[in-house]
Amino acid sequence: MGDKDLRVGLIGAGRMGADHALRLEKRISGVRLAAVADPDLGRAEGVAEASGARAVADPLEIIGDSAVDALVIASPGAVHEPLLLAAIDNDVPVLCEKPLTPDAKSSLRVVEAEEARGKRLVQVGFMRRFDAEYAELKRLLDSGDLGSPLMLHCAHRNAATPPGFTSEMMIYDSVVHEFDTARWLLDSEISAVSVRAPRSSSAAPEGLLDPQMVTIETARGALVDVEIFVNCGFGYQVRCEAVGERGTALIGADGGPLVHREGRWGGTITEDFRDRFGAAFDREFQRWADAARRGEVDRTAASTWDGYAAAAACEAGVRAQAGDGRSEVDLVERPAFYGRT
Amino acid sequence: MGDKDLRVGLIGAGRMGADHALRLEKRISGVRLAAVADPDLGRAEGVAEASGARAVADPLEIIGDSAVDALVIASPGAVHEPLLLAAIDNDVPVLCEKPLTPDAKSSLRVVEAEEARGKRLVQVGFMRRFDAEYAELKRLLDSGDLGSPLMLHCAHRNAATPPGFTSEMMIYDSVVHEFDTARWLLDSEISAVSVRAPRSSSAAPEGLLDPQMVTIETARGALVDVEIFVNCGFGYQVRCEAVGERGTALIGADGGPLVHREGRWGGTITEDFRDRFGAAFDREFQRWADAARRGEVDRTAASTWDGYAAAAACEAGVRAQAGDGRSEVDLVERPAFYGRT
Amino acid sequence: MGDKDLRVGLIGAGRMGADHALRLEKRISGVRLAAVADPDLGRAEGVAEASGARAVADPLEIIGDSAVDALVIASPGAVHEPLLLAAIDNDVPVLCEKPLTPDAKSSLRVVEAEEARGKRLVQVGFMRRFDAEYAELKRLLDSGDLGSPLMLHCAHRNAATPPGFTSEMMIYDSVVHEFDTARWLLDSEISAVSVRAPRSSSAAPEGLLDPQMVTIETARGALVDVEIFVNCGFGYQVRCEAVGERGTALIGADGGPLVHREGRWGGTITEDFRDRFGAAFDREFQRWADAARRGEVDRTAASTWDGYAAAAACEAGVRAQAGDGRSEVDLVERPAFYGRT
Amino acid sequence: MGDKDLRVGLIGAGRMGADHALRLEKRISGVRLAAVADPDLGRAEGVAEASGARAVADPLEIIGDSAVDALVIASPGAVHEPLLLAAIDNDVPVLCEKPLTPDAKSSLRVVEAEEARGKRLVQVGFMRRFDAEYAELKRLLDSGDLGSPLMLHCAHRNAATPPGFTSEMMIYDSVVHEFDTARWLLDSEISAVSVRAPRSSSAAPEGLLDPQMVTIETARGALVDVEIFVNCGFGYQVRCEAVGERGTALIGADGGPLVHREGRWGGTITEDFRDRFGAAFDREFQRWADAARRGEVDRTAASTWDGYAAAAACEAGVRAQAGDGRSEVDLVERPAFYGRT
């Protein structure tokens, strides 16, 4: 397989990029890190060094490079659009970390460019679709064993936020995962988003509305409630309970060794999303690379359309936060090119 | 203790009344069933027979009876008001099944009568306050170990509804328990109630909005979400997760033997509220009777005021169902007579 | 019911006796504490006082007393035999705390006396038979859903031992409960007992073999392993997993609120057997009293024969500890008088 | 990394070999399947085809082949010895599926050959050491948080056995995993093995003693009990509870979505060891390959010595089955060459 390895160019050598470089080199097969781009050239070199990859400052240099078969974009969302358009233009498969772009309008331009090209090239990094528990929940819902799904109850908790984290980022960076999983699990577009907040935790930084309760309405009449609590103090926790007409299924329950000690039973909580979703990232990357080598896209992964729909839901969420609590989501008509949800 | 037994008059000999008769006779101590009243005299006699109690058709006959020390009211809510007013008038301790009365206005008249009498006589049958799990959750919240409470996530599910069950009854008969537990656990009045429903389950009778999502706002800024699903098909389930500033606590998880058989692990679900809350009813009755024999009321139990506040929340819930989804709760000022929540 | 209350004489006013006095007075119905006997008369008076019961030093005084309908024996096992023989002689129903007597030979004398009397009068206080979880496990095994039972895996752990606790007491006071539950759940006599110990815990007092692994063989060919660990440090825990030909069932899993806090999920462990089995004691006493008032015995409770069989198993266990690790249990033939196990 | 891929020769193209071929090609990185050997040449060709690997009938052809950097042995244990000796002779790193060889005597010859060569080359495929749960348990025990370990309680269950499965194979093929995990978790050699069996399940084939209870004693005085039940009917289940001086830890509890449906809560049980330990196999192979490419061995994996010690424990287990129930394990003195357990 050595001579057929997919040569990947990585754009963005920050924390997420460095993590993905490690993933490409050490944890998945059939892939080779060929180039790393970062405006901070030293940072690009640091990530590229171990694998002998080329390091550049300008990402556009590697998008058209014939020695690069595919791209992973892990730079900030604000700079994604031109990179994606260039990749589409060059016929290069892309795994783009979420968000596709920061707003629905620019996401739609990427949708249109891909559709115009007539070939699916872009995958958005909603890694939960590759998590073993979420995949099993999806399988259960699709099997019909629980009856038609009516509601999801979600909780999404982080121990603490980095400096500068805002109420809007709780929607754009965190709840965006629930937007995608809701659409994917329920196989239906989001029609409206509501946001309500209790009094904020005294552990939250001044000015941050934390926690918040987000309610999602889908076109098929399902309801999803999401607790987003990014300064819960005790660890990272993502939970989802699906309620169907005939039964319920819960994922995200606590695992690990069950310990009895000092008057207490229980276990430890994962610290962050890399512990919780590390294996999902690996599987996502492996399946993306396998598809890319065959000249295909992974149809279970999130498409450009999914990235656009998530961006539109985020915008509605932020409008709901700022306004009277509820905002409708307006999507353009879904192009046949993208098939069903 | 025999000669000091509390002689109880039971009003209402339907399913609930018969169950309470059994409880009074067989499962708690220091109590004797002295009289049973039901407009259907045969039914009263049937329940009274085993214990040699007196059976009458008119409840007012036993309220003033010197051979009756205390009353249990298990008749329909619509007839509670005159019975309660008569009991207060006669200085008789009452354990009144919920609702206190069917609406806030009539409940307030009972509040005013009791306050005018200057003596606490009425307890409302919110039995969850006596459930071991709820009591432990209350203790945890009051201990401060979880930090100040910000949210409750509740689920309240029944296998199926009897004929004639309406969307309003989902609020008045079912969510009313969450109204009381929210007030009690969070030590705060309810300020507003919102109701939203996904598409109804195909298992729900024609015309019933089932499930519904009820959101409760409290005066102290906490948020409570309640899934009420009365045709979930699989059994009776009541769950509550409290989210505090520093931690969470969940009650209502599944119990019973953990069985492995035929490719599956798990256990059985309780069939109805009598299985789930039978021990809570016993404890409620025992503590009520113990207090009544001492001429006191159990301060942890629900008072007339609590019954009034629950009725007001129910009214707001039904307004929210019918209207634009959210309705505020207007309470009169709380009389000092009733102390804190 | 007041005038028909069962008038109970309590023998033994130590910690266990005082606990049972409270149970008789406060937690069960149809019963009245009529007399308390303890060689330490002051202690008897202390326990008797609250209920206005008679206090005496000599237990034989209350066994023949016409004002005492039934007896609870909670004195040390070494003095049980004459009390039981006197009660049988006087036709008085007895609930005798375990052990029936300290050795098989004396237990057999009680068996013979009761059989000679021709009437079942004695119940032995193996309260686990009344625990909701054990009862459900028994029901499951009897239902055949798991197939024929082949093995039980048991763990029995205490936080720490009181001063003077010996390796033999681990068999006589602790494992004796597993001897009875094994016989009861598996419906078969014990044929042999083996004992093996790993190196002792450094937390165990000098000279105590703690923990130990006890293996029980039954006449029907089932195997039971018991971990007995009386200085486990973390709390009180009793667990039993039944393995049948088609499935398994586990009881004794951890309960209580599920808490997430400070990087950990879990809950608290009960501190001692009164927390864990308090409700079982209540149910045991209630059913014993109900049967006694009807002049019957509760056939699901442990009989004199069960007390004898447990004593014989304890003796075999202590022989196994002292000798080469395994000892057979020799029982006399079971009298038809005692029916099946 | 492409040009530095480890070229692996696979010996044995049966079910296990085919599974490992897939693993080498698709699920781990830095590895290339270079050759496949199987006496059934057609079977070797079938497995080799997809990756363009060379297929041969005689394994010795690929052991000395300069185009093969490392070997995976997945042929029957009876033929392992000459292959291992040839690999050691040729300085080729080997991942050998368990057992190392079928008996302690031949295993010792491999130990001696490797020691004589003066270089660690052989790893034995005890994949549980790479399972996330076992690894976490090992970490916990080594941390000292539970105090010094005193006991392990293990259960190892299979749904059903293939035709021809014998009581001895329950030790050699199944309990052998517990022998290795006990040695590894407790960091101590096995000093004796006892075997006892209840009556056999009616679901077990004629002549098979199933289930069995195996007790392991270690040199440091710990006790391990193992339920091995290979026709339990309901699925594949491996569980281990460690009991330390200050606490316990359990792994192997049930996972997957928690489903509520049709009066039951719970989930599904994995069907076989490939579901349960697939990720462990992947991790084992990846770490073995990574070490081999660096010219090293993975010191956490099982060594030739570990394979020898397991073989000796298996022999003791089979002697115990056949004889009086207990058999001591005699090991030669551990060569310094193999370091600590």
Band of residue A340 on the pLDDT scale cut at 50, 70, 90: low
**Residue B86, C-beta contacts closer than 8 angstroms, at least 6 positions apart:** B60, B63, B64
Asked if B251 and C259 come within 8 Å (Cβ–Cβ), the reply is no
Q: Specify the pLDDT at position C340.
A: 61
Q: What is the dihedral of CA A40, A41, A42, A47, to 10 degrees?
A: 100
Same domain, A259 and A290: no
- Cβ contacts of D293 within 8 Å, gap of 6 or more: D4, D6, D30, D69
pLDDT value at position C322?
93
pLDDT in tens, C147-203: 999 999 999 999 999 999 999 999 999 999 999 999 999 999 999 999 999 999 999
Tracing tokens 């000098």 back to the chain, one arrives at C206
Looking at beta carbons, which residues of chain A come within 8 Å of D28? Answer: 29
What mean pLDDT do residues C114-132 have? 97
* pLDDT exceeds cutoff 80 at C1: no
- Mapped to the 3 state alphabet, what secondary structure does C161-192 carry? CCCCCCHHHHHHHHHHHHHHHHHHHHCCCEEE
Q: Which two tokens stand for residue D201?
A: 């399940």
Same domain assignment for residues A48 and A182: no
Best mutation target among C232, C239, C264, C276 (most A Cβ atoms within 10 Å) is: C264
Neighbours of chain D (3+ CB pairs under 8 A): A, B, C
What pLDDT, in 10s, does the model give residues D288-335? 999 999 999 999 999 999 999 999 999 999 999 998 889 999 999 999
Structure tokens at A201: 């935790």
CA C102 – CA B74 distance, rounded (Å): 52
Average pLDDT value for chain B: 95
Beta-carbon count within 10 A of C177 CB: 21
Measured CA to CA in angstroms, residue C138 lies from C131, C312, C339 at distances of 10, 23, 18
pLDDT, residue A29, reads 86
Q: Chain C contact for A237, CB < 8 A?
A: yes
For the stretch A287-292, contacts whose Cβ atoms lie closer than 8 Å and that sit 24 or more positions apart, written own/partner, are A287/A130, A288/A93, A288/A95, A288/A123, A289/A6, A289/A8, A289/A28, A289/A30, A289/A31, A289/A70, A290/A30, A291/A93, A292/A6, A292/A69, A292/A70, A292/A93
Name beta bridge partners: C250.
Answer: B258, C241
Q: Rounded to whole angstroms, how far apart are CA atoms D302 and D288? A: 11
Residue A105 sits in the same domain as residue A179? no
Tokens linked to D65 = 């082949």
Residue C258 near chain B (CB below 8 Å): yes
B28 lies in the same domain as B153:
no
The CATH number assigned to the domain holding C198 equals: 3.30.360.10
Domain ranges, residue C49: 2-127+279-302
- Asked if the model's pLDDT at residue C306 lies above 80, the reply is yes
Contacts of B260 in chain C (CB under 8 A): 247-249
Other beta carbons within 10 Å of B199: 15
> Tens of pLDDT along A218-250?
999 999 999 999 999 999 999 999 999 999 999
Which chain D positions have a beta carbon within 8 Å of A27's beta carbon? 29, 286
Q: How many domains in chain D?
A: 2
Closest in D237, D260, D271 to B234, CB measured: D260
Name every chain C residue with its beta carbon within 8 A of the beta carbon of A264: 234, 264, 266-269
Asked if D181 and D300 touch (Cβ cutoff 8 Å), the reply is no
Helix (H, G, I), strand (E, B) or coil at A21: helix
- Residue A323's pLDDT is what? 87
| Shortest Cα distance, chain B CAs vs residue D227, angstroms | 15
A168 in the same domain as A238? yes
Mean of per-residue pLDDT scores for chain A: 95
List alpha helices for chain B, DSSP H.
15-22, 41-49, 59-63, 80-89, 104-117, 132-143, 167-169, 176-186, 273-293, 304-322
Q: What is the pLDDT of residues D272-289, one digit of tens each?
A: 998 899 999 999 999 999
Which phi and psi (to 5°) does residue D35 adopt? Answer: -155, 150
Strand residues in C197-273 grouped as ranges (E) = 212-218, 223-229, 237-244, 247-251, 258-261, 264-268
Q: Which chains touch A (3 or more CB pairs under 8 A)?
A: B, C, D
Stretch (H or E) spanning A83: helix A80-89
Could D225 and C225 be called an inter-chain contact, meaning their C-beta atoms sit closer than 8 Å? yes
Say if residue B26 is in the same domain as residue B55.
yes
Residues 6+ apart with CB under 8 A from B119: B91
Categorize the per-residue pLDDT at B2 as very low, low, confident or very high, splitting at 50, 70 and 90.
Answer: very low
**CATH code of B47's domain:** 3.40.50.720
Sequence-ordered strand ranges (E) for B209-294 = 212-218, 223-229, 237-244, 247-251, 258-261, 264-268
Other Cβ atoms closer than 10 A to D105: 12
Mind listing the pLDDT tens digit for each residue in B40-99?
999 999 999 988 999 999 999 999 899 999 999 999 999 999 999 999 999 999 999 999
D156-180 mean pLDDT: 97
Which position has the token pair 């998945």? A28
Helix, strand, or coil here: A89? helix
Q: What is the mean pLDDT of residues C19-44?
A: 94
- Closest residue of B to A204, CA-based? B245
- The minimum CA-CA distance between D50 and chain A, rounded to whole Å, is 10
Residue A300 φ/ψ, nearest 5 degrees: -85, -15
Which pLDDT band, with edges at 50, 70 and 90, does C258 fall under?
very high
Q: Which residue matches tokens 């830890």?
A: D249
Residue C93 carries which DSSP code?
A: -
pLDDT at position C29 = 87
In the prediction, which pLDDT does D341 show? 46
Chains in contact with C, counting 3 or more C-beta pairs less than 8 Å apart as contact? A, B, D
Q: Does A142 lie at the interface with C, CB-CB under 8 angstroms?
A: no
- Number of neighbouring beta carbons within 10 Å of residue B9: 27
Tell me, yes or no, if C266 comes closer than 8 A to chain B by beta carbon.
Answer: no
Whole-number Å distance between alpha carbons of D118 and D131: 30
How many CA atoms does the CB half-sphere of C288 hold within 13 Å? 35
Q: Are residues B135 and B231 in the same domain?
A: yes
DSSP conformational letter for B334: P
D155/D103 same-domain check: no
Tell me: do B18 and B38 sit in the same domain: yes
Q: Please give the backbone phi and psi of residue A17, each rounded to the nearest 5 degrees, phi first.
A: -65, -45
Percent of chain C as helix, strand, coil, to the nearest 5: 40, 25, 35
Amino acid occupying residue D10: L
Does C253 touch chain A if contact means CB atoms closer than 8 Å?
no
Same domain, A175 and A321: yes
- D92 and D10 together in one domain: yes
Across C76-86, average pLDDT? 97
Nearest by CB to D234, from B237, B258, B262: name it: B262
User: Residues B186, B330: one domain?
Assistant: yes
